[in-house]
Chains A and B, each alone.
Chain A
Amino acid sequence: MTSLEIRKIDKFYGVHQALFDVSLSIGKGEFVTLLGPSGSGKTTLLKILAGFETVSGGEITLDGRNITELKPEARNFGLVFQGYALFPHMTVRENIAYPLKVRRMPRDAVATRVREMLDLVQLARFIDRKPSELSGGQQQRVALARALAFRPDVLLLDEPMSALDKKLRVDLQEELRQIHQTLGTTFINVTHDQEEAMHMSDRIAVMNHGRIEQFDTAFALYRHPGARFVAEFIGKSNIFPGELTREDGGSAIFRAEGMEMRLDAGSRTPGAADLMVRPEDVLLGTAPAAGRVNLPAEVLGSTYSGDRALYALKLASGRALSAYGAARSGVHPEGAQVFASFSPEDATLIG
Chain B
Amino acid sequence: MSKVVYWVSLSFAFFFLAAPLLIVLPLAFNDSSFLTYPMEGFTFRWFGVFFDTPPWLSSLANSFKVALGTTLAALLIGGLAAMGVMLLGRWGRIVMSALFVSPLVIPSVVLGVAMAYAFGRAGWGGGYLSLVFAHTILAAPLVFLAVTTSLMGLDPELDRAAASMGASRWRRFHTVTLPLAMPGFATGALFAFITSFDEVVVALFLSTPQTQTLPITLFSSLRDRLEPTIVVVALLLSIVSCLFILALNRLQRRGAGR
Name the contact of B155 in the complex, choosing from A85, A89, A132 (C-beta under 8 A): A85
For the complex, what is the distance from the CA of A213 to the CA of B216, rounded to whole Å?
Answer: 77
The interface residues of chain B lying within 8 Å CB-to-CB of A81 are 157, 160-161
- The reply to whether the CB of B245 lies closer than 8 angstroms to some CB of chain A is no
For the complex, what is the distance from the CA of A87 to the CA of B165, rounded to whole Å?
Answer: 12
For the complex, what is the distance from the CA of A77 to the CA of B165, rounded to whole Å?
Answer: 7
Q: Which residue of chain A lies nearest to B164 when distances are taken between CB atoms in the complex?
A: A79
Find out whether the CB atom of A99 lies under 8 angstroms from the CB atom of B258: no
- The reply to whether the CB of B48 lies closer than 8 angstroms to some CB of chain A is no
Task: Write the A57-90 contact mask toward B (1 if CB under 8 angstroms, else 0).
Answer: 0000000000000011111111101010111110
- The reply to whether the CB of B111 lies closer than 8 angstroms to some CB of chain A is no
The minimal Cβ–Cβ distance linking A93 to chain B, given in whole angstroms, is: 15
The minimal Cβ–Cβ distance linking B162 to chain A, given in whole angstroms, is: 7
Name the contact of B176 in the complex, choosing from A71, A78, A87, A99 (C-beta under 8 A): A87
Whether A83 touches B258, Cβ cut-off 8 Å, given contacts A73-B168, A88-B180, A99-B166, is: no
Find out whether the CB atom of A73 lies under 8 angstroms from the CB atom of B157: no
Find out whether the CB atom of B164 lies under 8 angstroms from the CB atom of A77: yes
Find out whether the CB atom of A146 lies under 8 angstroms from the CB atom of B165: yes
The minimal Cβ–Cβ distance linking B185 to chain A, given in whole angstroms, is: 14
Find out whether the CB atom of B179 lies under 8 angstroms from the CB atom of A89: yes
Find out whether the CB atom of A85 lies under 8 angstroms from the CB atom of B157: yes
Q: Which residue of chain B lies nearest to A89 when distances are taken between CB atoms in the complex?
A: B179
For the complex, what is the distance from the CA of A234 to the CA of B162, rounded to whole Å?
Answer: 36
- The reply to whether the CB of B225 lies closer than 8 angstroms to some CB of chain A is no
The interface residues of chain B lying within 8 Å CB-to-CB of A15 are none
The interface residues of chain B lying within 8 Å CB-to-CB of A71 are 163
Find out whether the CB atom of A52 lies under 8 angstroms from the CB atom of B160: yes
The minimal Cβ–Cβ distance linking B172 to chain A, given in whole angstroms, is: 8
Task: Write the B137-164 contact mask toward A (1 if CB under 8 angstroms, else 0).
Answer: 0000000000000000001011011111
Name the contact of A85 in the complex, choosing from B158, B171, B175 (C-beta under 8 A): B158
CB contacts under 8 Å to B, within A141-173, are 146-147, 150
Whether A83 touches B166, Cβ cut-off 8 Å, given contacts A89-B179, A102-B171, is: no
Find out whether the CB atom of B166 lies under 8 angstroms from the CB atom of A79: no
Q: Which residue of chain B lies nearest to A131 when distances are taken between CB atoms in the complex?
A: B258
The minimal Cβ–Cβ distance linking A90 to chain B, given in whole angstroms, is: 9
- The reply to whether the CB of A50 lies closer than 8 angstroms to some CB of chain B is yes
- The reply to whether the CB of A328 lies closer than 8 angstroms to some CB of chain B is no
For the complex, what is the distance from the CA of A87 to the CA of B179, rounded to whole Å?
Answer: 10
Find out whether the CB atom of B166 lies under 8 angstroms from the CB atom of A89: no
Whether A79 touches B160, Cβ cut-off 8 Å, given contacts A73-B168, A89-B180, A150-B166, is: yes
Range, interface on chain A: 20 to 34
Q: Which residue of chain B lies nearest to A158 when distances are taken between CB atoms in the complex?
A: B157
Name the contact of B258 in the complex, choosing from A50, A72, A132 (C-beta under 8 A): A132
- The reply to whether the CB of A16 lies closer than 8 angstroms to some CB of chain B is no
CB contacts under 8 Å to B, within A22-80, are 50-52, 71-79
Find out whether the CB atom of B166 lies under 8 angstroms from the CB atom of A76: yes
The interface residues of chain B lying within 8 Å CB-to-CB of A98 are 162, 165, 167, 175
Whether A103 touches B166, Cβ cut-off 8 Å, given contacts A85-B158, A85-B161, A89-B179, is: yes
The interface residues of chain A lying within 8 Å CB-to-CB of B179 are 89
The minimal Cβ–Cβ distance linking B256 to chain A, given in whole angstroms, is: 11
The interface residues of chain B lying within 8 Å CB-to-CB of A50 are 160, 164
Whether A102 touches B160, Cβ cut-off 8 Å, given contacts A87-B176, A88-B258, A89-B180, is: no
Q: Which residue of chain A lies nearest to B168 when distances are taken between CB atoms in the complex?
A: A73
For the complex, what is the distance from the CA of A52 to the CA of B159, rounded to whole Å?
Answer: 11
Find out whether the CB atom of A78 lies under 8 angstroms from the CB atom of B158: no
Q: Which residue of chain B lies nearest to A88 when distances are taken between CB atoms in the complex?
A: B258
For the complex, what is the distance from the CA of A98 to the CA of B158, rounded to whole Å?
Answer: 12
Find out whether the CB atom of A73 lies under 8 angstroms from the CB atom of B258: no
Find out whether the CB atom of A87 lies under 8 angstroms from the CB atom of B258: no
For the complex, what is the distance from the CA of A103 to the CA of B165, rounded to whole Å?
Answer: 9
Find out whether the CB atom of A78 lies under 8 angstroms from the CB atom of B164: yes
Q: Which residue of chain B lies nearest to A98 when distances are taken between CB atoms in the complex?
A: B165
Q: Which residue of chain A lies nearest to B180 when distances are taken between CB atoms in the complex?
A: A89
Find out whether the CB atom of B165 lies under 8 angstroms from the CB atom of A102: yes
The minimal Cβ–Cβ distance linking B209 to chain A, given in whole angstroms, is: 48
The minimal Cβ–Cβ distance linking B179 to chain A, given in whole angstroms, is: 5
Find out whether the CB atom of B161 lies under 8 angstroms from the CB atom of A79: yes
Find out whether the CB atom of B167 lies under 8 angstroms from the CB atom of A73: yes
The minimal Cβ–Cβ distance linking A89 to chain B, given in whole angstroms, is: 5
The interface residues of chain B lying within 8 Å CB-to-CB of A76 are 166
The interface residues of chain B lying within 8 Å CB-to-CB of A85 are 155, 157-158, 160-161
The interface of chain A, by Cβ under 8 A from chain B, is 50-52, 71-79, 81, 83, 85-89, 98-99, 102-103, 132, 146-147, 150
* 23 A-B pairs in the complex with CB atoms less than 8 angstroms apart: A51-B163, A72-B160, A73-B164, A73-B166, A76-B166, A78-B164, A78-B165, A79-B164, A81-B160, A81-B161, A83-B155, A85-B158, A87-B158, A87-B176, A88-B258, A89-B179, A89-B258, A98-B165, A98-B175, A102-B166, A103-B166, A147-B164, A150-B166
**A50-B160, A102-B165 given; 15 more Cβ-contact pairs under 8 Å:** A50-B164, A73-B163, A78-B164, A78-B165, A81-B157, A83-B157, A85-B161, A86-B161, A88-B180, A89-B179, A89-B258, A98-B165, A98-B175, A99-B165, A102-B166
The interface of chain B, by Cβ under 8 A from chain A, is 155, 157-158, 160-168, 171, 175-176, 179-180, 257-258
Give the 5 A-B residue pairs with the shortest CB-CB distance, closest first. Answer: A99-B165, A79-B164, A85-B161, A85-B157, A72-B163
